Amino acid sequence: MENIKIHKTAVIHPGVKLSSGVSVGPYSVIEDGATIGDNVRVGSHCVITGQTTIGRNCKIYTGAVIGSAPQDKKYSGDDNVFLNIGENNIIREYVTINPGTADGGGKTVLGNNNLIMAYAHIAHDCIIGNNCVMANAATLGGHVTIEDSAIIGGLSAVHQFVRLGRLSIVGGCSKVVQDVPPFSMCDGHPASVVSTNTVGLKRVDIPSATIQKLRKAFKILFRMGLTRSHALAKIANEIEPCPEIEHLVFFAKTSKRGLCNASGASSEISDVPD
C-alpha cells in the first residue's frame, strides 16, 4: 500500500482493507468490513460501513453514506449482506446506498462508470449496470434493476421491483411504477413512454436503420392498441431482427410489472410508416 492519505480527524477501523492511492477526508468514518480499491477518494464527513467493496478510481463526495443498513423491516443486523461498487463511479454529496437483504439475494450492485448525483438514494437489492446517471435526488426503491446507459432525471422516484432498460431516459420529477422499455424516453405521473430515445441512440452510434426499426416496434407496442403478446408477435413477423430489437422483445416478454403505457400522441412514433 502506497500513497495513502488519511486526514488526522478521519476514523478508520483496523480491519478495513485500503489499497494504494486511497485518500480519506476530514471526519470521515470507515468501519470494519469495508474494502477500498486503488485511488479511491473519500471526501469529508462520509460514512462507509457494512460489507462494502468499492472498486478503484471511485470518487465519493461530502456526506455520502455508503453501506448502511437496509431500510427494510425484515432486516436483521446479523444478516450476511453485501454492497459491491465497481470502478470509476462518481458518488456525489449526501448520496445513500444500502446493501442487499437476506430475502432479496443478499447484495446491492453498482457497476462501472456511473454518475450518482447529490442526494440520490439506492435502496437494498438494486442492480445497476454501467454508464448510468441518476440525477439529483433520484430515488430507487428496493430490488430495482437498471440496465447499462440508462438515465434517471432529478427528483424522480422508481417503485420497488421496477426495471429500467438499456439506453432509456426518465424525465425529471417522474413517478415510475412500471418497467421502462430499453431505448425509450419516459416521463410523467405515472411515467409513460413518450418516444424512442433517439438522441441517446445516436450518441452511441446506433445505425439510423436500427433506430427506424425501433421506432416502428414502439409504434406497434404502444400506439396500435394491441395486447403485449399480439404486439410482440407482430414485431417478430414484420421487423427484421437485430440485437436492439431482440433485446426490446426479450425485455417486454420478461416484464413482471408491465411496461409503462404510452403518453399522448408522439409524432416521432406515430409518423412511422406502417
Contact 232, 247 (CB under 8 A): no
Q: What is d(CA 118, CA 132) in angstroms, rounded to the nearest whole number? A: 15
Averaged over 138-151, what is the pLDDT?
A: 98
* pLDDT, position 263: 73
Indicate the range of 73-77, 177-181, 207-211, 220-224 predicted with least confidence.
73-77
Averaged over 157-184, what is the pLDDT?
A: 98
* pLDDT, position 265: 46
Contact 99, 84 (CB under 8 A): no
Averaged over 173-180, what is the pLDDT?
A: 98
**Phi-psi sector, 220: left (phi>0), alpha (psi -120 to 50), beta:** alpha
SS3 239: coil
Asked whether residue 264 carries a pLDDT value surpassing 80, the answer given is no
Identify the CATH assignment for 5-143 out of 3.40.630.30, 3.50.30.30, 1.20.1260.10, 2.160.10.10.
Answer: 2.160.10.10
pLDDT per position as a tens digit, 73-122: 999 988 999 999 999 999 999 999 999 999 999 999 999 999 999 999 99
Asked whether residue 201 carries a pLDDT value surpassing 90, the answer given is yes
Q: What is d(CA 211, CA 272) in angstroms, rounded to the nearest whole number? A: 11
Cβ atoms within 10 Å of 270's Cβ, excluding its own: 14
Confidence of residue 2 (pLDDT cuts 50, 70, 90): confident
SS3 249: helix
Total count of residues recorded for the chain? 274
* pLDDT, position 266: 53
SS3 212: helix
Cβ atoms within 10 Å of 262's Cβ, excluding its own: 22
pLDDT per position as a tens digit, 123-140: 999 999 999 999 999 999
User: Which grid cell is 41?
Assistant: 477518494
Averaged over 137-154, what is the pLDDT?
A: 98
Q: State percent of the chain over pLDDT 90.
A: 93
pLDDT per position as a tens digit, 23-63: 999 999 999 999 999 999 999 999 999 999 999 999 999 99
Amino acid at 219: K
User: Which grid cell is 126?
Assistant: 438494486
Q: What is d(CA 237, CA 224) in angstroms, rounded to the nearest whole number? A: 15
Contact 114, 146 (CB under 8 A): no
Identify the CATH assignment for 202-270 out of 1.20.120.450, 3.40.50.880, 1.20.1180.10, 3.40.50.300.
Answer: 1.20.1180.10
Contact 81, 101 (CB under 8 A): yes
Per-domain residue ranges for the chain?
5-143, 202-270
Is there a shared CATH topology between the 5-143 domain and the 202-270 domain?
Answer: no
Mean pLDDT score across all residues of the chain:
95
Catalytic residues: 124-125, 142
Indicate the range of 140-154, 169-183, 255-269 predicted with least confidence.
255-269
Q: State percent of the chain over pLDDT 70.
A: 96
SS3 37: coil
